[in-house]
Structure 1
């Protein structure tokens, strides 16, 4: 939680990107993130195959250091690390 008051996003060489259709909302990324960089939002989402979720996970890039723990721990591999500066 050391970055809560400091923006550390400029430290990254890679950033996590969440595939919302592959995410099963298990909270694993949220639990393992060492900083307050993964946000659990009350934001409904419907996947392309019709699964409905009441919450959505998003990355707060101002606080994400790019450590990759979220991508490593994700059981469905819904999070991948991409080089910083590459548009998705």
Structure 2
């Protein structure tokens, strides 16, 4: 029977991490909101009046401005659908 001993990845005291801070919370996750998105926004570019309501209401600010329309950064989009619900022209879906 072998004994296994777990070792921390780094010394918390040497790293200056406070004792009351959970070490799991200090690990940065590379996962972006777009990695778990359930819906994908689509803009009807011919009908977009560029009112910026989608940009205003987006909780993660993934709406990007172009010359004649707004588009979405799918890496950061959560897929919440707020932009489609708030669009007065219903041009994003």
- 2:90 paired residue number: 77
Cα RMSD between the aligned structures? Answer: 1.6
Structure 1 residue 31 corresponds to structure 2 residue 56: yes
Stretches of 4+ aligned residues off by more than 2 angstroms: none
TM-score (normalised: structure 1): 0.66
Specify which structure has the higher proportion of helix: 2
Q: Please identify the structure whose Cα radius of gyration is greater.
A: 2
Q: Which runs of 5+ in 2 are unaligned?
A: 1-29
Q: Which runs of 5+ in 1 are unaligned?
A: 44-54, 81-88
Specify which structure has the higher proportion of strand: 1
TM-score (normalised: structure 2): 0.63
Q: How many residues align?
A: 64
The structure with higher relative contact order (CA 8 Å, sep 6+) is: 1
